Amino acid sequence: MHITPHIHGLRHPFKVPVAPGIALDRFVYSYLIYGETITLIDTGVAGCDKTIFEYIRSTGRDPDEIALICLTHSHPDHIGAAKAIRDATGCSVAAHPAERAWIEDVERQNRERPVPGFATLVGGSVPVAFDLVDGTSIETDDTRTCELRIIHTPGHSPGSISYFLHNEGVLFSGDAVPVAGDLPVYDDAVASVHTVRRLLALHGIRTLLSAWDEPRRDERAYTQMEAALHYLQTIHETVITAAGEGEPDLPALTRIVAGQIGLPPQAASPLLARSFAANLQVRHRKNLLIDP
């Protein structure tokens, strides 16, 4: 998908096994930024390197031109092909320091945040060459076509970051903006709300490029983020109402709430339970959209 003169998007479908004989169909986007060299935002799951390389060749460029992989965070569908791409091209990998441990030691990530089918989704650990921190910018080549502003956008994960290509008005948000009606995945419900609000306050967004959604342009970029805020609040209200008083049975609660917010039964996974547990941590707050 050709998004702007310099930006190309690749949609990678994959499956997450959630039970014997049952798999959840998912997809994730990675993005290529063309300049004198090529910058890759996220890599998809293991095996996506082949798709990425084939696409680059189809546009008349060479995969060896990939100089930098910028990761939005450390989860399997974003780092899965990083090792293969780095091994093939010798490129550098950059990420937020809070994500470094799980990128450089994927077995540790699997222990601390088990995901069904993890071993099939991630091709291996990869060293992070340098850290990306909030408020800084990186220029990936001398053409200045790719000056990326780093925005720390936690919530989905502690070190999630978004990238704002200001001169083209393009925001790469990773998984920071939940998609209303889709699987909500986050570690911190309050931080997720603050993150979406921060992105909403950015002026000049002409294209919103998230990992789990189609490109949203102009006003639709902002309405999509508004919808994400309301989705986060709806989830929160549903969780704390279903939980009632005391400590609920989390798997049972997850199944109940999943159905109430319109998710399919197979979505009631440990990842979804982790998100709902984040809401239970702040159950005293009835409205996440109002600062205490």
Structure-block tokens of residue 51: 């798709």
Residue 143 pLDDT exceeds 90: no
Query: What's the confidence (pLDDT) of residue 141?
Result: 66
Cβ contacts of 84 within 8 Å, gap of 6 or more: 46, 49, 123, 124
Map tokens 């998710």 to a residue. Answer: 263
Lowest average pLDDT, out of 4-13, 19-28, 59-68, 269-278, goes to: 19-28
**pLDDT at 124 (0 to 100):** 96
Grade residue 167 by pLDDT with cuts at 50, 70 and 90: confident
Residue-wise pLDDT for 188-216, tens only, equals 999 999 999 999 999 999 999 999 999 99
Tell me how many degrees the CA angle 70-74-80 measures, rounded to the nearest 5.
Answer: 80
Neighbouring C-alpha atoms within 13 Å toward the C-beta of 171: 31
The answer, as to whether pTM is greater than 0.85, is: yes
Statement: residue 90 has pLDDT above 60: yes
SS3 84: helix
Question: Count of alpha carbons within 13 Å of 116, Cβ hemisphere only?
Answer: 20
Cα 217 off chain centre by: 19
Q: Show the tokens assigned to 237.
A: 């209200």
Higher pLDDT, 291 or 169: 169
Per CATH, the number for 7-234 is 3.60.15.10
